Amino acid sequence: MANLVTSSMLWLCLISYAYITIHAAPVWPRGRSTRFYDFKIQTMTVNKLCNSKQIVTVNNMFPGPVVYAQEGDRLIVKVTNESPYNATIHWHGVRQILSCWFDGPSYITQCPIQAGQSFTYEFTMVKQKGTFFWHAHVSWLRATVYGALVVYPKPGVPYPFKYPYEEHIVILGEYWLQDIVQLERQVLASGGGPPPASAYTINGHPGPNYNCSANDLYKIDVVPGKTYLLRLINAGLNMENFFAIANHRLTIVEADAEYTKPFTTDRVMLGPGQTINVLVTADQTIGKYSMAMGPYMSAQNVPFQNISAIAYFQYVGAVPNSLSLPARLPSFNDNLAVKTVMDGLRGLNTSDVPKEIDTNLFLTIGLNVNKCGSKTPQQNCQGLNNGTMSASMNNISFIKPTVSVLEAYYKGIEGYFTDNFPGAPFRFYDFVNGAPNNAPNDTSSMNGTRVKVLEYGTRVQLILQDTGTVTTENHPIHLHGYSFYVVGYGAGNYNPQTASLNLVDPPYMNTIGVPVGGWAAIRFVADNPGVWFMHCHFDIHQSWGLGTVFIVKNGKGHLETLPHPPADLPRC
Ligand code: C2O
């Protein structure tokens, strides 16, 4: 009894304390078990970089509203589409136990919500807490349709680290002056790659390095001596990014909404789809320090935005107009800096790492160039060697069907997908170095909507192997419906004889940046029935087909069976 009183009193203190200090947190969870949110997808006008344009957002906010919950809560989010475009919302990192219908990727688990329609997402944060985000999962709309999803531990459960003085959400993004829907259409029609973003943004703000954005700036005021928790989220479209704060060290305590052993570093790298929580102590002399977001570009010959977005980490008492100390970012191609952070990621609670494997899959990931098939090659074949760019897993470019895979599977409607996604490449060769770089004929991929079916409970290992067919590159591969243990990674071609695996304390993630010209090994138990997309979280690669789908069959009894679809499920 005494213990009970103490812990609930502690929690009360935490609640009232945090209520005051959390950035942009008007609705702090008060221990209710169901939380309702109303999302209106709307177009709004924004002024950035001396340009005014219409962007799509939620509730006229950019970034969109923060969704707060506690572990175990049920979230009910009614999404009304008041924009002229098709829309869906995906809850990135939420495992959606028995709620695949509400996962959100268009044409995988649902048809898009059409203009004027609505759809209510309902799911429970089963054994999950930490920093997540939500984003549109239709075309490239997530360029502006995104926001944070913050899930606190259950009442009375502390963080596994000292409670921070304050916490702040820091969302990294990419911003284009062009209309994103038009841009997507043009790029895909051109057969070539996308242009670089006009600017990077931190919580929607580019900061002083770009044209006329000196005042379009995000800033955290910090009290000397205090420790802050930053919830970093990369919501960018097509870039991986470094993040650093001038003169301050970052202690990673969580990655992809799972605790890690604390690891202190000068900078982190986040691919789109990744989240990292860091602790930062304001232990420097009073002043104004830059928080910087810059590029990590591991591919060859790809143009990218090289100007960093800047925000301020500003001490209370600093002279307001003083110059900020610049943050030191690694150079754009510093693969070692990426590896160092990855080496430091160790899971905190890893007792259930699968030690035995039932199904071992080997998936190559990479780009392709297909032969020009257009009568107007100048317009449509601007890829390498006058071909059209594409991307693939095991050399199959995933084509989204015209109804959702989940609906087709659930209702047994034939003709929308085939279950013959290969568990290994058709041909083994030197994937990293041996690909014929100059022959468009030999670098073509096949198109298909091929899925891999898994029996309920299968213990799966996936080897993800980067290819150099066009260029080697670090690809952020994201799996829906699961987190997975990253049990190994390395440079070059995967070799089971020499690969060393960490089955002791691997990080538990939902998005893995597969090392450039290297491989990663991930493991999970397929115990969540449904249809789950796995894809590169660069939208351009997703559009080019870098993805596949797992169908996990029902097990026994209703706790292992996907429920019926909701009545308001959108129609195609
Ligand atoms: Cu964050 Cu399929 O996506």
Three-state SS for 494? coil
Atom of ligand 1 nearest to the CA of 533: 2
Angle at 317 between CA 314 and CA 318, to 5 degrees: 50
Ligand 1 atom nearest to CA at 535: 2
- What is the 171 CA–ligand 1 centroid distance (Å)? 16
Cα(235) to ligand 1 centroid in Å equals 10
* pLDDT tens for each residue of the chain, 572 residues long: 333 333 333 343 333 333 333 333 334 445 559 999 999 999 999 999 999 999 999 999 999 999 999 999 999 999 999 999 999 999 999 999 999 999 999 999 999 999 999 999 999 999 999 999 999 999 999 999 999 999 999 999 999 999 999 999 999 999 999 999 999 999 999 999 999 999 999 999 999 999 999 999 999 999 999 999 999 999 999 999 999 999 999 999 999 999 999 999 999 999 999 999 999 999 999 999 999 999 999 999 999 999 999 999 999 999 988 889 999 999 999 999 999 999 999 999 888 999 999 999 999 999 999 999 999 999 999 999 899 999 999 999 999 999 999 999 999 999 999 999 999 999 888 999 876 555 545 689 999 999 999 999 999 999 999 999 899 999 999 999 999 999 999 999 999 999 999 999 999 999 999 999 999 999 999 999 999 999 999 999 999 999 999 999 999 999 999 999 999 999 99
> Which residues face 533 on adjacent strands?
549
Which residue(s) pair with 42 in the sheet?
A: 57
Q: CA–CA separation, 485 vs 462, rounded Å?
A: 10
Compute CA distances 472 → 114, 268, 269, 336, whole Å.
Answer: 38, 21, 18, 15
Which residues form ligand 1's pocket by a CB distance below 6 Å?
Answer: 90, 92, 105, 135, 137, 273, 478, 480, 533, 535, 537
Beta strands in 394-472 (DSSP E): 396-398, 446-448, 451-454, 458-466
Alpha-carbon distance of 443 to 445, in angstroms, equals 7
Per DSSP, the three-state class of 380 is: helix
Going by alpha carbons, the residue nearest to atom 2 of ligand 1 is 105
Nearest residue (CA) to ligand 1, atom 3:
92
Q: Evaluate whether 169 touches 150 at the Cβ level (below 8 Å).
A: yes
Q: How far is residue 361 from each of residues 227, 436, 458, measured CA to CA in Å?
A: 43, 24, 12
